[in-house]
């Protein structure tokens, strides 16, 4: 199977690395000048195309590693945390929406 994403480096743009989608031809900046980091991003993108069923499990593993309480958290706790970051009219709107859950 041909890889969908490939890595290029644009010297004209400060040596930044870009991802090229072979399907659409679009070029997207990887926002890094570190070659190892850029290669890891490209490999992750290609792996997600080869094994789409594993994407959700891999994402859960990364989230659980970043936040051990992730797997135990309820929607209510999530919405309460979301509302805490709001102010003024945004707070009132978030509180009304949160009650519907």
Half-sphere exposure of residue 86, counting CA atoms within 13 Å on the CB side? Answer: 16
Report the greatest alpha carbon distance in the chain.
Answer: 53
Write down the pLDDT at residue 24: 96
Report, as ranges of residue numbers, the positions in the chain whose pLDDT lies below 50: none
Q: Are 83 and 94 in contact (CB under 8 A)?
A: yes
Write down the pLDDT at residue 99: 64
Q: Is pTM beyond 0.75 here?
A: no
Write down the pLDDT at residue 1: 67
Give the closest residue to 38 by CA, choosing from 15, 22, 55. 15
- pLDDT, tens digit, 9 for 90 and up, residues 27-49: 999 999 999 999 999 999 999 88
Write down the pLDDT at residue 26: 96
Give the closest residue to 69 by CA, choosing from 77, 59, 58, 80. 77
């Amino acid at each position: 199977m041909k890889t969908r994403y490939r890595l290029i480096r644009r010297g004209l743009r400060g040596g930044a690395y870009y991802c090229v989608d072979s399907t659409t031809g679009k070029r997207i900046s990887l926002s890094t000048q570190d070659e190892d980091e850029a290669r890891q991003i490209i490999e992750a993108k290609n792996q997600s195309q080869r094994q789409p069923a594993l994407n959700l499990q891999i994402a859960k593993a990364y989230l659980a590693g970043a936040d051990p309480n992730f797997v135990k958290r309820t929607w209510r706790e999530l919405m309460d945390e979301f509302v805490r970051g709001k102010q003024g009219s945004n707070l009132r709107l978030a509180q009304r929406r949160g009650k519907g859950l």
